[in-house]
């Protein structure tokens, strides 16, 4: 098993095995942007750029910020896949980012948010159509569904703005679910 080296408080530390290093990320001792290296790597890299440690870093963030914290991502991923992330918020177009950039955690995060938003829009539209046909209260329920659709449009804009800024913020109200892993 290869050993890892990491930088902590300006000092190079290690070697340690992957399990030990992962535990340091999980318990919050090391932040996700800690520089790490092992034999065979050409340069030190930020730990949140390596798949081996992303779940541990995300777990530390979830413990510190409560459940539903967004995953930690590198800025280069965000810069490279910003357009796919923005498109993901347009209904059904979340598939474009998944197909064009399947390795991108940034595009996948926003595709997940876009998928949840698309499902919410479809459910609200269906509920409005079905409940709108009820006698007496149908008109009121149909109007209420139209207000909810407007709320979904606001969430589309908010998600696109977050993606354009390179941020991985969850959408209010509906964004706390992960359908894509």
Domain termination residue (choose one: 41, 72, 103):
72
Average pLDDT over residues 76-105: 84
The yes-or-no verdict on residue 93 having pLDDT over 80 is yes
Tens digits of per-residue pLDDT, 134-171? 888 887 887 888 888 888 889 999 999 988 888 888 88
Report the alpha-carbon distance of residue 149 to residue 129 in Å, rounded.
12
Residues 83 and 43 in one domain: no
Residues 58 and 80 in one domain: no
Q: What is the pTM of this model?
A: 0.55
Sheet with 45-46, edge to edge strand ranges = 11-16, 4-8, 35-37, 45-46
DSSP letter for each residue of 77-107: HHHHTHHHHHHTTSTTTHHHHHHH-TT-HHH
Domain termination residue (choose one: 13, 45, 72):
72
Tens digits of per-residue pLDDT, 40-75? 888 888 888 888 888 888 877 654 444 444 544 445
C-beta neighbour count of 114 within 10 angstroms: 31
Report the alpha-carbon distance of residue 101 to residue 103 in Å, rounded.
6
Domain count, the chain: 2
Separation of CA 132 from chain center: 35
pLDDT for residue 169: 85
Residues 33 and 61 in one domain: yes
Residue span of the structural domain in which 27 resides: 1-72
3-state secondary structure of 37: strand
Report the alpha-carbon distance of residue 35 to residue 122 in Å, rounded.
44
Residues 86 and 175 in one domain: yes
Residues 101 and 144 in one domain: yes
Tens digits of per-residue pLDDT, 27-40? 888 988 899 999 98
Domain termination residue (choose one: 72, 106, 129):
72
Residues 92 and 65 in one domain: no
The yes-or-no verdict on residue 4 having pLDDT over 90 is yes
pLDDT for residue 9: 85
Tell me the angle at which helices 51-65 and 18-26 cross, rounded to the nearest 10 degrees.
Answer: 30
> Which residue carries 């993606």 as its tokens?
163
3-state secondary structure of 54: helix
**Average pLDDT, whole number, for the chain?**
83
Residues 56 and 87 in one domain: no
| CATH of residue 33 | 3.30.1490.40
């Amino acid at each position: 098993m290869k050993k890892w080296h990491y930088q902590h408080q300006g000092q190079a530390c290690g070697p340690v095995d992957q399990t030990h290093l992962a535990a340091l990320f999980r318990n919050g001792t090391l932040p996700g942007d800690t520089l790490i290296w092992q034999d065979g790597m050409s340069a030190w890299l930020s730990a949140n750029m390596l798949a081996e440690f992303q779940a541990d870093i995300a777990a530390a963030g979830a413990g510190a910020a409560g459940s539903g914290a967004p995953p930690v991502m590198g800025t280069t991923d965000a810069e490279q896949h910003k357009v796919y992330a923005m498109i993901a918020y347009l209904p059904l177009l979340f598939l474009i980012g998944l197909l064009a950039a399947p390795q991108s955690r940034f595009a996948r995060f926003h595709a997940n948010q876009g998928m949840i938003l698309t499902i919410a829009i479809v459910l609200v539209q269906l509920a409005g159509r079905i409940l709108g046909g009820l006698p007496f209260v149908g008109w009121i329920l149909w109007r209420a569904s139209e207000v909810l659709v407007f709320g979904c449009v606001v969430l589309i804009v908010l998600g696109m703005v977050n993606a354009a800024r390179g941020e991985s913020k969850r959408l209010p109200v509906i964004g706390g679910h992960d359908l894509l892993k």
